[in-house]
Amino acid sequence: MLQDTQTIRYYQRLTDALVEMWNRGYRFDDLRLFLDGYLAALRQTSALEPFHIHRLEEEVSRYIYDPSNFEMTQTQTQPKSDYY
């Protein structure tokens, strides 16, 4: 569980971006590449402590591989009423 406020903000940004990318047609391999690049940038800039980056990676990886986070909601259409 994440407890550092800055790490939680990065987690929220990452998960929002991942869902948006999924809705635009990107798939798991693309999402994983995006996550790897994002984490590399965090490491390079020293924006977070290495321990927090590692925890962030674990949590977001768990988020990516949970299929319920990327289910497409099906809109229900109104059944056609038969007037005959």
Written as one string, the DSSP assignment of 26-46 is --HHHHHHHHHHHHHHHHHHT
Let me know: does 31 contact 70? Beta carbons within 8 Å: no
At residue 82 the predicted structure's pLDDT band, cuts being 50, 70 and 90, is: low
Let me know: does 48 contact 10? Beta carbons within 8 Å: yes
**pLDDT digit string, tens, across residues 22-71:** 999 999 999 999 999 999 999 999 888 999 999 999 999 999 988 888 87
Written as one string, the DSSP assignment of 44-59 is HHT-S-HHHHHHHHHH
